[in-house]
Amino acid sequence: MGSPLRLTLASGTPPANGGGLWSIVLDEFERGEAAMSRFRDTSELTALNQVAGTAAVARPSRRLRRALVSSDRAWRVTGGRFDPRVLVDLDRLGYRGAALGRPGTEAPTASRQGRVIERVGRRAIRVAHPIDLGGIGKGLALRWAAARIERAGARDFLVEAGGDLVARGDDPDGKSWQVGIEDPAGGEDLAVIAVRDLAVATSSVRVNRWVMDGRVVHHLLDPRTGEPANDGLLAVTVAGADPAWAEVWSKALYLAGRPVIAGEARSRGIAAWWITDEGALEMTPAARALTIWVASEAD
């Protein structure tokens, strides 16, 4: 999923258990890649995308089924702001993964109508349009890795994938885990938050941005236009109970844009932090309750 992985264990975890827990993280993300990666030619998702709109794929794995069902629900809950059917547009803009079409077949279109999935079951699965499970897939992999670590007996740990994370219990000092809110311009952290038994996810233009046809573009596409969203925000971070849903809401709120984000996040009770295109940090009351340091308020 293109993300560096990190597992931090509290001091109460026996050192001998660390290797086994780390193996769990690696195994879960490898299984996630095999099911949900749009960059692997051999992944289940690639096979599904290559027959999108024409055929079904037999005997999908539990991971792929759950990822597609979760994506469909997220599309409905967010009113269409979160929509994984942006893969054709990502390819068009230069952020390419595995080939979408098989030799001799017509290239898929970027049309998005109806629900995300046409049919899903144990025996077969079918989608009408190619799917990108990148962000929500990473959130699900974090969810499943954290659950396996807990079943293995660990209670105090932090597992992170490229800035998105799950924090359980206490840090090595017996306190809440401290997490920085990154400056998308590349400077020092803009704030520090304290989390315990929460997940944190960020949607940002800092990393995945490039020049295409003389213009700067990024991977956070507005599904209504198929173009990079550009409505006054550089990054949105969300803390919540589940990493997949934290990812969904960080993207949905980013796409909501600067005029709407504060009201929508507050009305839903979401702990959200966002950085405007002028570099200012703003947050909801729920986010303020988790914030222990803000750069602009430091002496």
275 burial class (0-12, 13-18, 19+ CB within 10 angstroms)? buried
The neighbour count for residue 264, using CB atoms within 10 Å, is: 18
Helix (H) or strand (E) segment spanning residue 126: strand 124-126
Between CA 255 and CA 227 the distance in angstroms is 11
Q: Which two tokens stand for residue 132?
A: 């990108």
Contacts within 8 Å (CB) and 24+ apart, 15-23: 17/152, 17/153, 17/154, 20/152, 21/149, 21/152, 21/154, 21/157
Taking residues 171-186, what's their average pLDDT?
A: 94
Write down the pLDDT at residue 202: 97
The region of weakest confidence among 94-103, 144-153, 223-232, 254-263 is 94-103
Phi and psi of 244, rounded to 5°? Answer: -65, -45
Give the integer Cα–Cα distance in Å for 53 and 153.
44
Task: Read off the pLDDT of residues 261-280 as tens digits, 9 standing for 90 and up.
Answer: 999 999 999 999 999 999 99
Cβ atoms 191, 294 nearer than 8 A: yes
Spatial contact of 202 and 254, defined as CB atoms under 8 Å apart: no
Burial of 144 (0-12, 13-18, 19+ CB in 10 A): buried
Count Cβ atoms within 10 A of the Cβ of residue 48 and give its class: 0-12 exposed, 13-18 middle, 19 or more buried: buried
| Domain 176-297: top CATH class | alpha beta
Query: What would the pLDDT profile of 181-216 be if each residue is shown by its tens digit?
Result: 999 988 899 999 999 999 999 999 988 888 988 898
- Cα-flanking dihedrals φ and ψ of residue 28, to 5°? -65, -40
- For the chain, the domains span 44-132, 176-297
Helix (H, G, I), strand (E, B) or coil at 217: strand
pLDDT band at 104 (very low <50, low <70, confident <90, very high): low
Instruction: Between 87 and 209, name the one with better pLDDT.
Output: 87
Provide mean pLDDT across the span 164-171: 97
pTM score of the predicted model: 0.94
Read off the DSSP letter of residue 98: S
Residues 276/234, Cβ–Cβ less than 8 Å = yes
Burial label, 42 (beta-carbon count in 10 A; 0-12, 13-18, 19+): exposed
pLDDT at position 18, please?
A: 86
**Contact call for residues 249 and 238 (beta carbons, < 8 A):** yes
Of 1 and 208, which is predicted with more confidence? 208
* Spatial distance between the Cα atoms of 253 and 21, rounded to a whole number of angstroms: 33
